[in-house]
Structure 1
């Protein structure tokens, strides 16, 4: 019997056995073991053909019935996949609780073609509900089942993608980056859900930016830029633009950053994507602030804030408050600047956004230190330092130790020396064992 024929017959046998409520052990006898029955059902090709015929006969089947059984099976699978796609759509429409209620009656063994998809959808529903731990458990199950049964429909890569988002939401950037890399490693170009690849790349760039690895993040975007036309998700495309513009600013390439920010702004306007439009305006405002073009910067920030009601997610306000505050310090509007820095801190706290909160606290400390209020700056630096140490933001930690050393220099020799030692230690951690001979000038 040909291998493909054994696989078809095995599937038909499995379906008939299940429909009769029989276990493998119920069919086994002195002529055929449960392990052999399992191998036949899974289409293992080295099984003795006589055993296949014996099992068919024992179930009261004839070989002529197999095509019809398989046809019914394909129709059932097609209907099931459609229903599961509607369930996924409901999750995307922010109805995760209703979805979980609908899925209570869905129970497949791990060998079922859609077993990994069901686990993935349960994880996705819990992700929407911000129940990170339960989501993580279901994603882990989806990955395990998918790797055993073949990575169909890129469920493995999709689960790694969502696991990265769970970590991101919990401010675990290093773990988020690891999961994004795992998703890219397991992604199969021919297995469906092609959009997942570009979201993984987008997330990788964002995580690198949050970790202060600007050059690495920029390289990730540069490598994929020529394939942007293959990305079907407009939000992902727009995030590519905003992240590239922000990374270019942070690496000092201001003019090039403005070009990408303007292109992204126009794309967001055309597609009426208000969240990304808000981001682009904030980035353009920050770029113009860096160039000393304060009037342009203020127009960008004020336009962004005027559109905040359309964004429906005020997490994005943190950056705008920070940069508008920085602009006001340049314009010597100190009181307005301080109010905005405090608003940025409050907003980051509200959304438990550790990277942005670390930055907002540091900027507030800088504002006070530069205003000759070093004593008042210290608590902000110390709080930012605690966050940086908790979430392993090594570059931020290094900068904060340096700023604390500036505050202590003329007031507390012991703390000053302690800060200098900490600067040295974090610098060693950042180098991570690199040989100095490779260091560029």
Structure 2
């Protein structure tokens, strides 16, 4: 037989509201059964008043007895809610530890986490296991758990769709592909995440993560107009009264805001909007400094330096790059160092300071290779090859540029591939090497069909190398 518990707090609110609606004081209802103190205790939901007295006051106010029934709650339901609250709190505790302290300990705790059979919280457990392995860079296991969480939602626990964990799993799957340099697949997962996002659900920040990821992947694929469109959507949704391009301070995550600022500055710089890019980056630096966001601060200083370098203000650019590198002992993401080293290498190459230039490019190549960042490694090898070209170091130049071309082909970096084919063809022709014809034909066949079938013109040259920001953690 079911047991029921009286929800004294909600019932007390109704009694108080009814009394006030009738313009009665507590003293007006006082008699030999309920005193003013008892009435006050009933209205505030105190537990030391008998149900008989509550029912008596309820009737005295002229309320209908059938209205009383809705304040009785199934004990079993209450107990289950209490169990669920404990499960949710413990899982939140584990997620905090995974994100801020130790993913290894998170794996240990999740393995022994007690879940009742058929519990919908298995979705959260798989998601958190995926995060653990993602942070440990065991991408295969991470991918497995994210897919399992999605499968559980689709097949067994459709009520968990409101948690937005399905969308968040797609976000992390996009990052798994991003780390493996599969940009097109990363973009597809972001789109899936956005399509499955529940506006009124939990983890509302997920939408901004997905949009930022989508913009970053567009940028990496040199689809700058598409990247800017997505940034405009983020800004418009966060601050509908502000003009596009403003810093969306109302986004809950400061990390997302800083990521937005860096990406917007980069895209503006690529579009030649240097003044706007500089102002935006400097605002972001101030935010990152105040919040002690070391990684984003390093990234923004490097982005600012790249804009100054593009403008020809090499002294100001050098200040920015060296400032970024002063934070190297504080940052966690090594790709930021590769980015800064590549930019410094490019700057010193422009000054014909080839010894320093080569040194920084080599550092960038080493780090990029270590962390499997093919995009940045390609950029660094292109810069190093160009540095060797300027010094007349023919064999080293061809070797570097050819390595960069292999990476660009492997990962479908079309802009870099086209630039490298032209660089190698032009350089070898000037050297009198007939191999230049092979690169010229490769360039022709890579672009001719798309061009004459109505596709976009081949992307050959553009602004100085610009970095694509790393998506934030969720």
TM-score bucket (shorter structure): 0.7 to 0.9
1:54 matched residue in structure 2: none
* Contact kept? 2:294, 2:331, Cα under 8 Å: yes
Render the CA deviation track for 1:388-422: whole Å, top value 9, x for unaligned: 12112122212211111112224466522221221
* Aligned pair partner of 1:391 in 411, 414, 437: 411
1:132 matched residue in structure 2: 139
- 1:292 and 2:302 matched: no
What's the RMSD between the two structures over aligned residues? Answer: 2.4
Distance 1:436 1:230 in 2: 37
Over 3 Å off, 4+ runs: 105-111, 370-375, 410-414, 428-437
1:283 matched residue in structure 2: 303
1:116 matched residue in structure 2: 123
The 5-angstrom pairing of residues 16-415 of structure 1 reads 67-106=74-113, 112-148=119-155, 149-150=158-159, 151-226=161-236, 227=238, 228-411=248-431, 414-415=434-435
Render the CA deviation track for 1:65-94: whole Å, top value 9, x for unaligned: 992222222221111111111111121124
* Contact kept? 1:397, 1:426, Cα under 8 Å: no
Shift of 1:106: 4.0
Render the CA deviation track for 1:265-291: whole Å, top value 9, x for unaligned: 111122121211111111111111111
1:55 matched residue in structure 2: none
Shift of 1:109: 8.1
TM-score normalised to the size of structure 2? 0.74
Query: RCO higher in 1 or 2 (8 Å CA, sep ≥ 6)?
Result: 2
Greater share of helix = 1
Stretches of structure 1 that go unaligned for 5 or more consecutive residues are 1-64
Distance 2:442 2:117 in 1: 51
TM-score normalised to the size of structure 1? 0.79
* Contact kept? 2:354, 2:391, Cα under 8 Å: no
Structure 1 residues 109 and 428, CA, compared in 2 at 3 Å: closer, same or farther?
farther
What SS class does the counterpart of residue 409 from structure 1 fall into? helix
Further displaced range: 183-192 or 171-180:
171-180
Corresponding pairs, count: 373
Distance 1:153 1:432 in 2: 48
Distance 1:222 1:240 in 2: 10
Distance 1:296 1:137 in 2: 47
* Contact kept? 2:450, 2:456, Cα under 8 Å: no
Shift of 1:143: 0.8
Shift of 1:336: 1.4
* Contact kept? 1:146, 1:152, Cα under 8 Å: no
Shift of 1:157: 0.4
Stretches of structure 2 that go unaligned for 5 or more consecutive residues are 1-71, 239-247, 458-474
2:29 matched residue in structure 1: none
Shift of 1:110: 8.6
What SS class does the counterpart of residue 330 from structure 2 fall into? helix
* Contact kept? 1:94, 1:128, Cα under 8 Å: no
